[in-house]
Every structure is written in C-alpha cells, then in structure tokens.
Amino acid sequence: MSSVGTRVFVARLAGTRVFDPLGDEVGRVRDVVVLVRLKGGPRAVGLVVEVPGRRRVFLPLTRVTSIDAGQVISTGLVNMRRFEQRASETLVVGELLDRTVELLDGSGSATVEDVAMEQQRSGDWHVTKVYVRRSDHRGGLLRRRGETLLVPVEQVQGLGRPSSAQGAELLLAQYEDMKAADLADVLHELGVTRRLEVASALDDERLADVLEELPEDDQVAILRALELPRAADVLEAMQPDDAADLLGELPQEQVAQLLELMEPEEAKDVRRLLAYEDNTAGGLMTTEPVLLGPETSIAAALAHVRRQDLNPALASLVFVARPPLETPTGRFIGVVHLQRMLREPPHESIGQIVDTDIEPVAADAPLLTVTRQLATYNLLALPVVDEQRRLLGAVSVDDVLDHLLPADWRETDDENVGPPTRPTRVVRNGGRRG
C-alpha cells in the first residue's frame, strides 16, 4: 500500500492499470492533473484515466486508496463524464514534460523530464520534486545531453507558464505504442499551442495516420501550421481520399501550392478525387485498394492483404481487373473475398474464385446508394467503376461511416442521453450501476 511520504514519478505512472477494490480493471492512467499555484508548490488533484471505449475520465486522487508499482487502486467510484481540462489545470505528461524552466540557484535553464508527487499527512498530493536535464552552453554551443538533477519544486521557476518553444520528445515517448486513433484523442485534448508542438514533432507517416483520425478543424489547424514542403510530405503519406478531404477544407490558392509540391503521382490521385462531389462514391473512394490480375496466386494475394498499412476494411477484398493494374484499370472483373482465399489451395489463381455477382457503383452514385450496396452484400468495401467498367477505386465502410455520423462524432460522448451527473460504480460484469 502507498503511504504518506511515498514519492511517485508521474512519467512512470503513465500507462499504469487502475483497479477497483474487487480487482477488476477500470482503465489506465494517461496523465496527472495538477494545480500550479502562485504560493506553495503545485498540488496534484486527480488522474486522467482511459476507460474502455477510449473515453478519458477524471479520477480524483481523493478516491485513490493506493499507488504501487504497476497498479493504482481506486474506491470503485468512477464518474464516467468525459474529462474536460479547466483553465486552472495543467497536465503533467501533456504540458509539463519537455518544458524549459529556470533553476533558481542561478545555474541557468533546464528541461523537465519528470515530476514527482508525494502524499501529505492531510491526504493531499503535492508536487515536491522535479527531475530536470540541465542545458549545457559550454563553448557557446547547446549540448544535446546535459547533467540530470532532482531538485525541489521550490527551486524551479516556469512550471506555471509554457515556454515559447517546448519540445515533445518525452510526451511522445509515453505514447509511442499508441494506435493513431488514441494518439489523436490525446492531441485533441491538448491546448492549441501544445497540440501544434506535439504534432510537429511526429514523423510524416505517424502524423499522417493521426491526422486521418482528428476532427476537421484540428486537421486544418495542424496542416496550416506546418511549412508548405512538410505539409505536402504529410499529405503524400495520407490515404488519397483522406488527403483530398483535408484539402477540400483549405483555400484554393493553398490547395494549388500543396498539390504542386507533392510528388506528381501522389498529386494525380488526389486531384482526381477532388473533382468528385463529397457525398458521392467518387468523393468517398480511395484510389489504392488491393488490386491484382486474375492470374495471381492465392498465396501472393494473401501476402498483399497482410500489409501492415492496409486497414481491415480494404483487406477484406481483393479487386481483380485486367491490366493496367493501377486505377483507372483495365476492365474490372470482380472481387475475391479474404475468407474464400483462406479455404482454397495457395497455389490456385484468384481468377478461379472471383465473385462476379457484386454490383459496382458509378463514381457519381450518391451516398445512400453506396450504403445500400454495402448492406445488401454484407461488404466492408465496394468497387467504383466508370462507364467502360474500369475500376476507379473502392469505397470502404469506415469512409461511409465518417460521412453518416455527425460532424462532431469524435468529440461526442457514447451515451445518447449525455454524460451521467453522478458517480457510477464499475462492477464485475463490466457494466455500471449508479
């Protein structure tokens, strides 16, 4: 059991499982909320806990009975209202790590790498120590690695205000193994300035994946904050349909600049998609489904759908067409279902198991038609063809859902009636009772 005086380092606490008194897992710690006060050290008031459904909720430290290595024990009472940061609150992982502060001993500046909190006799948790890496300016050059120190919080100035240029390496290290959708939730909950700092620190591929999961307003703000060449590189790393959707929110002049900076082949696909209306099959489709010739072996086709960068919906079908095997293709033949390939000998060709009964849609087919086709054939993706029956692309069910759901669905709580107004208890069967 944790006791008065126990020192807990926040960066190490992130990711720790939270359990109720019965031993059932409630969620995982994602951050610690502190109040940085003008007088007295910062006071930790609660944990941001990610519960099933990717919802982040606030767990007051007054409801935490134990913080030990590898686990946090709560009283079992968890208010399932989505966490919303108040103006007076600071997130340790999201906002303090990588912050540049001044050391009051006169030795200069340092970067925050961790924060320690301790429980007082009153039961409150106070931030007592800051683990920093000193900036080393010897020789007139900033050295990459300086001396590390564990200093009392009273000897540090600058925790209450963000520095003009704050890094994001330590924060990203905490979320290195997170799925793109989960990291997008983290970014969305950060302040505007911090969100842009963190997004800029991501590599192009990772940022592209995260942008695809963010609300449109966040996407546009981040892309506009990037230098034009970097923004073009990120757009190239995105799926063409997602890149086209994002560009559709920008002024035409900026769109033209970005398309000019993109690789010609990548820009060509995006330009094609921009020509279609938003709520049509052409506006929804991707131009990069799994596309193979009929002579391809089942073994080779299975290797294609195992690609890590392929989403599950597009991996469910192989689209078969005559050469050329880039959209727009030669004549479209049909589709091969993943389950069917798993039941057949690997050396057989996919041309022998093509499903020709799936009726493709035209590029100008409205969203309702696309939805009905997906539902009728129980498909996760649907072929889109032109008048010559050449394959132009494929519409996946996730793209359809993005257009059917409300524009703010990423920010809306799961319950139709809104968040509960009183604490709820997580019970053993996984449900909740008031």
- Note the pLDDT tens digit of each residue in 305-326: 999 888 899 999 999 999 999 9
Provide the token pair at 219: 């996407």
Residue with tokens 């380092």: 9
Residue 266 phi, psi (nearest 5): -65, -40
Q: Look at residue 410 in the predicted model and tell me its pLDDT.
A: 61
Beta strands in 122-281 (DSSP E): 125-134, 148-152, 156-157
Of all residues in the chain, what percent carry a pLDDT higher than 90? 68
Q: Look at residue 270 in the predicted model and tell me its pLDDT.
A: 96
Q: Look at residue 250 in the predicted model and tell me its pLDDT.
A: 94
Q: Could you say which DSSP state residue 122 is in?
A: T
Q: Look at residue 37 in the predicted model and tell me its pLDDT.
A: 78
Query: How much is the mean pLDDT over the chain?
Result: 87
Model confidence band, residue 427 (pLDDT cutoffs 50, 70, 90): very low
Q: Which of 33, 17, 116 is nearest to 68 (CA)?
A: 17
Q: Look at residue 365 in the predicted model and tell me its pLDDT.
A: 97
Residue 432 has pLDDT above 60, yes or no: no
Residue 87 has pLDDT above 80, yes or no: yes
Residue with tokens 């005086």: 5
Q: Is 84 in contact with 413 (CB distance < 8 Å)? A: no
Q: Is 2 in contact with 66 (CB distance < 8 Å)? A: yes
- Omega cis (within 30) before 419: no
Q: Is 166 in contact with 192 (CB distance < 8 Å)? A: no
Distance CA 191, CA 304 (A): 40
Provide the token pair at 284: 């929804």
Residue 429 has pLDDT above 80, yes or no: no
Burial of 342 (0-12, 13-18, 19+ CB in 10 A): exposed
Model confidence band, residue 165 (pLDDT cutoffs 50, 70, 90): low
Distance CA 229, CA 231 (A): 5
Distance CA 351, CA 340 (A): 12
Better pLDDT: 193 or 72: 72
Q: What is the mean pLDDT of residues 10-21?
A: 93
Model confidence band, residue 413 (pLDDT cutoffs 50, 70, 90): low
Q: Look at residue 177 in the predicted model and tell me its pLDDT.
A: 79
Give residue-wise pLDDT tens across range 197-255.
899 999 999 999 999 999 889 999 999 999 999 999 999 999 999 999 999 999 999 99
In three-state secondary structure terms, 376 is helix
Q: Look at residue 433 in the predicted model and tell me its pLDDT.
A: 28
Q: Are strands 7-9 and 424-426 parallel, antiparallel or unpaired?
A: unpaired
